[in-house]
A and B are shown apart, each in its own frame.
Chain A
Amino acid sequence: MLGVLIEKELKSILQSPKFVATFGVCSLLILLSVFIGINEYRASVAQYETATNWVDQQIAEATTFENLPTRVYRQPSPMQIFVSGVNYDIGRLSQISIEQDVKLEQSAYSDDPIFAVFRYIDFTFIVQVVLSLFAIVFTYDAINGERESGTLKLVLSNPIARGQYLLAKLVGSWLGLTIPLLIPILIGLLLVIAFGVPMTETDWLKLVTLIGVSVLYFTFFIALSLLVSALTRQSAVSFLFLLVVWITLVLIVPRGAVMAAGQLVEVPTVAEIESQKDRYRADAQGDLRATSNLRFQEMMAPAQGFGEAERRAFYTANIDLYTEETNRLRAEMEVVIEQNNRRVNENLRNAKAEQERLAFLLSRVSPASAFKLTAMNLGGTNTSMKNRYEDQMLAYRETYNSYIETRWQQEQEEQEQLLASQRAGGGRNVNVAGSGNQAIDTSDMPRFVASEESIVEVFLASILDFGLLTIFTLIAFAGAFFAFVRYDVR
């Protein structure tokens, strides 16, 4: 009996012209989003390679280690094909140098605002917005439509329990809508392989999970539509109601929640933070200058009444000590500045984290938010992406800076020797910086390699949303059962 009902449900959906049209549109959109994603990914990769090559080249052509700055870029990841998240909103690169703090700058959108006018279309977007609408369009009249056409009465004039009937509706609708959608999804995966996108095993695992969450999200909307259909007598009413619910859940709640959190939790602006840091640095540098001036005076004090030649000799004899000390002071200063920067950044991060926690908590009232947030988690393009990269770049900066410092010391020593031999040979003091025109040896320079989040972390973070979606769906199903048992079939 159940089998008969499920079979009829399936056939009913698959044989309707409505299905052919809407399924066609959805498939097209899924494939389009994957295709666009792949193209954008490849363009990003090309851009990344050009940029890093140029940085390498620049380093290779450098002639001194002094304050040698570099840049590091975020490497594009294949999962961004499916979930663009905040990938194009946050900076793509950071300057790495002794003086500057790490900060992601130049986002794709700020470089090329044309892309920000309408934004991106990715697989997650299609699922979140279009597929949910698709589910509603098909299931909104599952119960009341049959009532309106009289077939509900006819079916229930046979010995079929209500629970059985609803279960068959559920299973039949689900199979009839979800299974066909797997076709364009699978084709999309084939496209990914065909275009040679380098997916690691972890990437595949994440992708499969993403598809799983998408199916769960889609199922929620089927369950919701069934529920509303079993609560209303006319299909026009259930459709209107579901449309309003869809607008609220998909379009309004997520934005509203973030904006509410923005108003409820205060966060210092980045401009304030930057100024604080600059101020601190300026003060510290001023202090350093004052101190080293003082030291210099102290050092040269004994040479007060000397003649020029003696003065110069005295200077030469003592300058090394002075330089050593000044360098030490500078290094200490940098450490202190660094600590302050860390502190200030920490405060900012904590405030932002709190705001974010509140925002996402509020937004999870809507399954659309839960879905998007977990998708971004899986795609590695969630809001912590910025922090993650900046942290890694920070660590790299330490390694890089110490490397630069060491090599700079070496270079200075070499130059000293050169100057000494020059002086000995009676040459003129050349007061110009730079050691010469030969390129420095950078073959042992540490490279920036970003590490991926551990898959365990990613999955643990997604459990909450998975669970939430499941609960939402189960509640909707349960509600539908309860409503249908009391449904007036006349």
Chain B
Amino acid sequence: MSNESASVDNTQSNSNSGNGSSAPRLEAFNLSKRYEDGVLALNNVSFQVAPGEIYAMLGGNGAGKTTTINVFLNFIEPSEGEARIDGIVAHKEPLKAKEHIAYVSENVMLYPNFTAIQNLDFFAKLGGHTGYTKDDYRDVLLRVGLQEVAHNKRLKGFSKGMRQKCGIAIAILKDAPAILLDEPTSGLDPSAGLEFIRLLGDLRSEGKAILMSTHDIFRAKEIANTIGIMNQGVLVMERAAKDLEGENLEDLYVQYMAGHTDSEQDVEIIS
């Protein structure tokens, strides 16, 4: 498939890059993934996330959001196409690529018998940072909103929100240029969700490229620079957030879910 007839309207998102260079940090390039049983989990997905940009990927369960993230992490290899991080192809040089990303999974579990700080310490070292002090960990945990009393408690007793905060703390400590988040606000109460979004904004200001998959339309609208909608492995819509200002994102979402697509090509595919 040529770039010309790419199924996504993405010319506008590029001009939305924030501070920093405009070369995309995260790039999906004609990504396709077909499983042995014939299921097409990703169908020619392409998008870009520039430094200082938040890209929110919406879509139903099984739409392909998590699959996309898994390709960036090289947990699965694409059947066609490439996922690139800072120009490094994920499935060709996975170890090098992983130096450039931080990851927050959907349900952050971590090690139950380690304290919050012990967990942070371990993952920081894995990420290559051996120089952090206890105070550094403390500071980051406070920054993400975890009260000090919990810092030295074992993760076993943490609520979902507390664990999520630890997850984001780990990502912050890794200090990588790109961050991948899989459904980060699911299960968080409104105030925790708000805190989280604010944090993401701070990270964006630091110049990080952030890819976030989510169900939460409203948060997406609040914080994202670009919004993409996935349906059955196809990226059926991609718009700059400010273009959607006046519109009712909910209706749009439902529309796209029902089968509407921005591209004629995809009409064939979907119908």
Contacts and interface: CB of A to CB of B under 8 A. Distances in A.
Interface stretch (B111-119, B137-145, B205-213, B234-242): B111-119
Given A1-B126, A12-B113, A159 B95 contact: yes
A23 to B, nearest CB: 14
A4 B108 contact: no
Interface string B115-130: 0001000110111100
Interface string B8-44: 0000000000000000000000000000000000000
A478 interface: no
B73 interface: yes
Contacts of B73: 153, 156-157
Given A15-B113, A151-B110, 19 more contacts: A8-B111, A8-B122, A12-B111, A12-B114, A150-B106, A150-B108, A150-B109, A151-B109, A154-B103, A154-B108, A154-B110, A154-B123, A156-B73, A156-B98, A157-B73, A158-B98, A160-B98, A488-B76, A489-B75
A490 interface: yes
B70 interface: yes
B99 interface: yes
Interface in A417-431: none
Interface of B: 70, 73, 75-76, 94-96, 98-99, 101-103, 105-114, 118, 122-123, 125-128, 170, 174, 180
A80 B259 CA distance: 79
Contacts of B170: 154
Interface of A: 1, 4-5, 8, 11-12, 15-17, 149-151, 153-161, 488-490
Contacts of A4: 122, 125-126
B75 A151 contact: no
B231 to A, nearest CB: 21
A4 B130 CA distance: 10
A151 B114 CA distance: 13
B114 A15 contact: yes
Given A15-B113, A150-B109, A151-B109, A158 B126 contact: yes
Contact of B76 (A8, A11, A151, A490): A490
Given A4-B122, A11-B118, A150-B105, A158 B127 contact: yes
A156 B97 CA distance: 12
Contacts of A159: 94-96, 98-99, 128
A1 B114 CA distance: 19
Contacts of B103: 153-154, 157
Contacts of B96: 159
Contact of B95 (A149, A161, A489): A161
Contacts of B110: 149, 151, 154
A11 B115 CA distance: 11
Contacts of A150: 105-109
Contacts of A8: 111, 122
B136 to A, nearest CB: 17
A488 B67 CA distance: 13
A160 B111 contact: no
A490 B70 contact: yes
A403 to B, nearest CB: 72
Contacts of A15: 113-114
Q: Which 4 A-B pairs have the closest CB atoms?
A: A157-B103, A149-B109, A159-B95, A159-B98
26 contacts: A4-B122, A4-B125, A8-B122, A11-B114, A12-B114, A15-B114, A17-B113, A149-B109, A149-B110, A150-B108, A151-B110, A153-B103, A153-B105, A154-B108, A155-B123, A155-B126, A156-B73, A157-B101, A158-B98, A158-B123, A158-B174, A159-B96, A160-B95, A488-B76, A490-B70, A490-B76
A20 to B, nearest CB: 11
A156 B95 contact: no
- Name, among A5, A16, A150, the residue most crowded by chain B CB atoms within 10 Å (CB to CB): A150
Contacts of B105: 150, 153-154
